[in-house]
Amino acid sequence: MGVKSIYILNKAGGLIFQRDFGDSLSKLDSNDYLVIAGTLHSVHAITTRISPVAGSSGLTVMETPSFSLHIFQSQTGIKFMILTDRQQYGIDSIASRIHHLYSDYVMKNPFYTLEMPIRCEKFDRYLGAYISTVA
């Protein structure tokens, strides 16, 4: 049970935040994280286009035998990617809670520059505290 990893992507598909929770995940090269983010951003963009229905929100869930990947896109185009194990439920509320923390501790921080990597101590602290309650 639980959230394994969180990725936050800016409008252009650049990785602005990545954090693993727990130690079940193997560490990747920092370049690999950027590649994963870029690839998923493109796949997400493609799925919005190939959808048979107009105005599709694109890829939202990807399931594998060992984990699930959930994608939540905010109104402003920021994408939150949440890696969980397959039993995790209530992803919507987790995603909106993470979005909430992002808009509080990142967007209201005068030292954060839009679209740039997130280095906000309080965001890290409160995100960690929240994720530990989910698991």
CB of 113 to other proteins, least distance (A): 10
CB of 78 to other proteins, least distance (A): 17
Beta strands in the chain (DSSP E): 3-9, 15-20, 61-63, 68-73, 79-84
Gap between the Cα atoms of 29 and 21, Å rounded: 17
- Rounded to whole angstroms, what are the CA distances from 46 to 12, 43, 90, 106? 14, 5, 26, 29
Compose the 52-91 pattern: x for residues touching other proteins by CB under 8 A, - for all others.
----------------------------------------
CB of 120 to other proteins, least distance (A): 4
Nearest by Cα to 120 from 103, 130, 105, 108: 105
> Which positions from 20 through 49 interact with other proteins, judged by CB under 8 A?
none
Closer residue to other proteins, CB minimum distance, 86 or 119: 119
Gap between the Cα atoms of 104 and 123, Å rounded: 8
CB of 133 to other proteins, least distance (A): 18
109 binds other proteins (CB under 8 A): yes
Q: In what order do the strands lie in the sheet with 61-63?
A: 15-20, 3-9, 79-84, 68-73, 61-63
105 binds other proteins (CB under 8 A): yes
| Contact residue for other proteins among 63, 108, 128, 135 (CB under 8 A) | 108
Q: Which residues contribute to the site for other proteins (CB under 8 A)? A: 104-105, 108-111, 119-123, 125
